[in-house]
Each structure stands twice: as C-alpha cells, then as structure tokens.
Amino acid sequence: MFHLIGFEQNLETLILLAKPYAGHKNIYDLNSLKKAYFRFLKKIQPNVPLPQKSTLEFVSNPELIAKLIKLFMVDTELNDIENIMNSGNASYAKKALNNIQQSYQRLLERNPSFGSLFNLVVNMIFCAQSKMAGGGTTSAAIGVIWSDHRPHWQNQDFIEFFIHETSHTLLFLDEYRYQHYRDLKQVAKPENYTPSAILQKNRPLDKVLHSLIVATEILLARSTWLGEPSTCQLHPPTSILLPQTRNALSSLQNASLPNKLLTERAHYLLETIQQKIAPLEHPLQTTIEGPQQRAL
C-alpha cells in the first residue's frame, strides 16, 4: 500500500479514522496522530493490548505473548492466519526478538519514509514458533505483527517481511474506511474463488486482493529501492512473482461474479496495481531512490 498509493493517501486514511478520537485536541504531528490511533484501535478491538508508550513495542513478556497468540487464533472474515503457534523456549524468544529488532533498524536506515508509516500503524511485534508460516497479521488484532522468521532468512527477507505484513495492516485500515466487498458471505463461497498471486491457489476474494497488494508491494520495492535479492527465501524471485501477479490480476478481472462483489474502492486498487506493474520487466532495472522523511 505504501508503494501502491503512496505515503500521503495512507496517512489520510489513518487521520480520518483517528480524528474522532483526538478529543478536544487537534492532530498536529505524528505523535498526536499515534495517540488518537491508539484510541481508535481501543474502540474497535478492546481486547487487543496496546503499548504503554506511543512507540513500537517488541514484546518479550511471556504472558503478553500468550495473549497475543490467542488473538491470532480468532477466526474473522479478513483473517489470513491458519497456524498453530507456541511461544517457544526462553532461548528462542530472546534470539528471535533480537533478530527482528536488528532487522527493524536496518529497515529504518534503508527507507525512512516507509519506516515512518510503519511506526505509525504497527504497535507490537512478537515472536512465536509455527511449523506452517514465518509470521503474519490478523484483522482481529490490527497493529500487531507476529514473526517466526526462519534461520536461513537473509537481510532482504526480513525487510520484505516487514513490507508484506505492513501491507496487510494498511489494507485492513483501508477496508475499515472504504469497505472493499459488497457481500462477505458471497466472498466466502468456493465458486467465487480465484487464484492468488503468491501461493497460486484458488482462494476467497479477500485473500486474493491481499495477495495482489502484497505481491505488488514487493515488486515495487524491489524495482525502486530494494533491488532483486541474491537468494529468495520468503518470496519468489521477480521472474516468477511478476507473471504470477499479472495472472492473478487477470483471472480476477475476468471473473464475472467476483468482480461484481468488489466495491468501487477495491476496483480502484486493482486498476492501480495494473498501472504500477505494467512497466515492470525482469530482470528489474532497479533505480535506487533516497526517500525522504515525511511529517504532517
């Protein structure tokens, strides 16, 4: 979402959602926005814990991790979590959290603008083990990221992981503002499934939209500032991911009923995806940019 529609449009959504919770004070900087965002989240998901301070928390408390794991097991319409998790032993937790913190610092150094948006919408990161995935997000706990990064991940895999999960988070917020689907019951019916961009499986429409957004974000990041990874662990190489994304987009656009289940906003996102990936080629002609820090 950061690369697809830009910092400002995502910021606009966050301000619109948070403004009613700013009280008598105006939102005048990123700190006041973060506090209002906390109050918004507390209203829509009262059972989800928030950090004591208005800053990103890397969760080390075992009791809090156990609570967050339970939240990730909640089944919601927009969930994409199908995992059995456990907090692991103390040695795992300490090492995993240290790895993710170091990778977070590298992310801020590589792209401060993306890091600024990340810090606004993500509140907690926790590590828990799973045999099925390397991490995830859930619409039942917006603002929380779960990580179970693999030992073979390289620096770029961690950065792409942050991009991946932040894209889900921003899309959850965009959905809360605009609504993307006209009938979630119809969305869940197998006859309305289409292929996803990353897993290449027939999936519900909401999962396909999320997959298209994530794949596009990875492709755009690689083409503008991240570059092609020397080895691909978390996501496929661009030579595979780009045609998969185009095929998934084409399949969805050509599917009559699923198309009708999308709102105007969802169609706008799909059209923007098409525009953004149209000029991309493999091998990528990477243009290294120097994004500047943005503020209100």
Which tens digit of pLDDT belongs to each residue from 150-197? 888 999 999 999 999 999 999 999 999 999 999 999 999 999 999 999
Whether 26 maps to a domain, the answer reads no
Whether 84 maps to a domain, the answer reads no
The pTM for the full model equals 0.91
Whether 140 maps to a domain, the answer reads no
Whether 204 maps to a domain, the answer reads yes
pLDDT value at 288 more than 70:
no
Average pLDDT over every residue of 73-88: 54
Whether the Cβ atoms of residue 294 and residue 30 lie closer than 8 Å to each other:
no
Count of structural domains within the chain: 1
Whether 235 maps to a domain, the answer reads yes
Q: List the structure tokens of 12.
A: 């606009």
Whether 28 maps to a domain, the answer reads no
- What is the structure's pLDDT at 84? 54
Domain membership of residue 241 as a residue range: 179-284
80 — pLDDT class (breaks 50, 70, 90): very low
- What is the structure's pLDDT at 156? 94
pLDDT value at 291 more than 70:
no
Whether 233 maps to a domain, the answer reads yes
pLDDT one-digit tens code per residue, 253-266: 998 888 889 999 99
Whether 7 maps to a domain, the answer reads no
295 — pLDDT class (breaks 50, 70, 90): very low
